[in-house]
Structure formats: C-alpha cells, structure tokens
Structure 1
Amino acid sequence: MSTVAWITTRGLLGRRRFLLLLPLPVLMVAVALIPRLSGASPEEWVQEVIVAMGFTTLLPVVALIVGTGVLGAEIDDGTITHILSKPIPRWRIVVPKLLVAIGVTAATAAVPFYIVGAIASGPRLGLGIVVGSTVGAVIYSTIFVALSLVSRRPVLLGLVYVIVWEGLLSNLVSGTRVLSVQQYALTIADKASASPLLNNNVSLPVAVVMSIVVTVVFLVVAIRKLGSFSVTGETS
C-alpha cells in the first residue's frame, strides 16, 4: 500500500494538473485581505469568502481535480493494466490512492481556510473551518475517486455536481441540504469553531452520520468498480 501511495503522490505532484490547485487558494486569501484591510466587519464578508468561495468552490473543485487524477490518468493512458495484472486486492489499490487524494486536498484547502479564518476572527475560527474542510475533503475525494471509475467523463460530471447540486440546489432548496457535502462540512466547521459568523443548515448528528454513510458507500462503489475492470482496462 505504501508503494502505491508513493507512486500516486509522485505522479500527482509531477503532473501539470497540480498547478491548477494553486490559483484558488491564493485568490481566496487575497479576496479576504481586501475587506479586512479596508476596515469592513467580518459579518460583511465572511459568508461570501469562507462559504461561497471556500466551501462551495475551492474545496470541491480541488477535490475534483485531485480525486479524478489519482486513478483517472492511469485509466486514460492505460497504465492501470500494469497494476491490475498483479494479484493485489482491489481495496489495496483504491485505499492508498484515496488517502493521497484526501491528504493533498485537505492540505491544499487547510492553508487558505486557516488564514482567512484567522483574519476574520482569530485562530479558533481558522482551526474550526480547517476541521470542517478536512471532513469535506474526505467525502468529496471519495466521491470523485469513485466517479473516475464509474464514468469516462468524471471531470465534466463532477463539475455539474459541484455547480448544480452543491452550488445551487443545496443553497436554494432546503430539502436538498441533508444530502449536501457542503452542508456537512459547514456544520462541523460551525460546531468546531463555535463562531457566530458561520451558519449551518443541518444538525450535527445528521452531518456526522451522513458523512460516514456517504464516504463508506462511495468507497465500496470504487472498490467494486475497480474489481470489475479486466487487465485491458475495460469493465467486465
């Protein structure tokens, strides 16, 4: 497992797509500095920066880029057949790759989230939203790794999911919030930070239970789907 994780990390960090992870975190911090330096109160800009830019855009987009890359690139170029030809349980391939995706996504999101939280209200808010974003990284990464195995167009489908479901429906239609990863992450960030600046739309028990359920379901889907691949890279 450690070998698979190392190869995945080296390949991921060596690809150009890794450079796509940098603009959003930098932009988020820059946007937060503008109202802070102009003297605006946190209540005036926290929702737009932390929620709209952070939890609605930065976190899922980074997870999409990374999650679809840890297995998707190998499927596209055919190198997955080399791994599949070996007598390795499929979960021992999926799990380390997923852990790499989670680690890279969580680390990429943690830095801007902490900085913006600290700028807005101090270290407690920064740490709280890092906790929430880490939970979100786990769930989103699992979803997008599974999506890279289920579809030949995982990035396109992932963008539709991020924009339509997480970006629009979960914020406009109250009934969809119980099925929104964004809402789970926000709720956990809100409880961890104990800050009045964040608003949550689902209860903490729902957020915790649904986070576990969604992660386990999509992990099982990913393992089973990879198990259906033949050494030619096609599903059987």
Structure 2
Amino acid sequence: MNGVIAGISYRALLGRRRIWLLIILPLVLIGLAVLLQVIGSGGEKVTVTFMQTFAIGTMLPLLGMIAGTGVIAPEIDDGTIIHLLAKPISRPVIAQTKFLVAASILALFAAVPTFVAAYLLVGLQSGIAYGFALGALVGGVAYAAVFMLLGILTRHAVTVGIVYALVWEGVVGNFVPGARRFSIQQWAQSVGDQVSSSPFFSAEIAPGFAVPALIVITVGAVVWAGQRLRSFSLTGDE
C-alpha cells in the first residue's frame, strides 16, 4: 500500500459528490430501522427480511459501486491517471492501494451502519446484528475489488455497475436459484449466517463454496486490475 496514493484517493472520493451518496444510503437504512421499531414492526423475521432486502441486497452493492468505481474511474476519465502512472510506483501497488481505500470506505459506510440498523431492531439477539455486519464487511470487500476493476476496464463502469447491482444481484441472483451461486450478496449472507443463530437467517449457499468464492473474486479482481493498469501508456492510450 502506498500512503501518498491512499491519501489522494481518500480526498478525491470523500471530496466529491459521491460522499453524499455514501452518507445518504446508510442514513436511509438506519432511518427505516428506526421507523420499523417505532411502529412496532420489529422482531427477528422482519429484521432479517429487511436486512437481506435493503442492507445487503440494495445498499451494499450500490455503495460498492460508488466506492469501487470512485477511487479510479474519475482519474481515468479526466486523464489525471497519467500523472499517477508516471510516478515510479508499481502499477499493481496502485491497484492494491485503490482497492484498500475502497474496502475501508465500505467497512465504514456499509458494515457499521448495517450493524447499527440491526441492533436498533433486535439488539444483539441471535447474533443477527453481528451476522449482517460481517456479511456486509466481506461482501463490501469483494464489491470494492470488482467495481474497481470495472472502473479500469470500461469508461461506462457506473452504468455496468448499476446493471450488475440491480439486475444481476437484485433480480437474477434473488429469483433464479442457479444464479445465486454466483452472487456476491448471496456469498456475503452465507458468511453472516455462520455468526447468527436465528432460524430466519438461513443462507442457501454453503460457506464451503461462499468463502473460497469471495477470496477468489476479490484477489482475482485486484490482480487483474494491476495487470490492466500495466497496459495504460503515459500518452493515455491503452
């Protein structure tokens, strides 16, 4: 990890309009949790359904897209990536640093609010809050890698990311049984399910598949991103 690149990436990501999206989505999650608690619609079953649908199913992939593409795609679009690539820094190190920045942002803006929302609804009951927070953490790390790679591969990363997050993860992954084995959010829920003892929190993907899949997709995306950066020339051509 390179400290200078990390600092630049944090300032760029948190200083742009993306910061408002990073803040608004978690606030909506917590606000809905408070509303459910106020109207007396809590309980384990409602909480698990709510967290699966909104926290892991909607908020997490969208935050992953915002943070993952945001750490590098704008630099590629405006050409400032050339100045970074001109420095005597290994391009895989650049990719690794960008990934770590995006992953840390997701830990803060996804995993923490997920825990808070679940805690507001059921406290520490049945380990639901811990389970979903862990799921959001590991899922967020994987999303950070995948969306960072998309930001390098295509100038339409946001569009592709939205299609992936809402269509594949939100629709296909939830309603097509076979596709669930290739869904990051399903893998994240599988990991979280190992922490929770709630009978309502039951993942369909075995952890024996989900954990290796998360590792492979995360490491693979970061390595590919580093190799892809090697193809960028200092003139801006690929």
TM-score, scaled relative to structure 2: 0.94
* Structure 1 unmatched runs, 5+: none
Contact conserved, 1:187 with 1:201, CA < 8 A, in 2? yes
> Residue 68 of structure 2 corresponds to which residue in structure 1?
67
Deviation, 1:41, is: 4.0
Note the 1:196-235 alignment, pairs <5 A: 196-235=199-238
Secondary structure in structure 1 of the residue aligned to 2:72: helix
Indicate which of 185, 188, 194 corresponds to 2:188: 185
CA distance in 1, matches of 2:203, 2:68: 26
Q: Which amino acid is the alignment partner of residue 131 of structure 1? A: L
Q: Which amino acid is the alignment partner of residue 105 of structure 2? A: V
Deviation, 1:20, is: 1.3
> Residue 39 of structure 1 corresponds to which residue in structure 2?
40
Q: Which amino acid is the alignment partner of residue 183 of structure 1? A: Q
Note the 1:26-175 alignment, pairs <5 A: 26-123=27-124, 124-175=127-178
Deviations 1:194-219 (A, max 9, x none): 22232201001111011111112211
CA distance in 1, matches of 2:82, 2:43: 52
Deviation, 1:120, is: 2.8
Deviations 1:45-75 (A, max 9, x none): 2244201111111111011011101111111
Secondary structure in structure 2 of the residue aligned to 1:18: helix
Most deviating of 111-120 and 201-210: 111-120
Contact conserved, 2:42 with 2:122, CA < 8 A, in 1? no
Identity value in percent:
39
TM-score, scaled relative to structure 1: 0.95
Contact conserved, 2:139 with 2:184, CA < 8 A, in 1? yes
Deviation, 1:127, is: 2.1
Contact conserved, 1:28 with 1:49, CA < 8 A, in 2? no
> Residue 9 of structure 2 corresponds to which residue in structure 1?
8
Q: Which amino acid is the alignment partner of residue 108 of structure 2? A: A
> Residue 23 of structure 1 corresponds to which residue in structure 2?
24
Q: Which amino acid is the alignment partner of residue 32 of structure 1? A: A
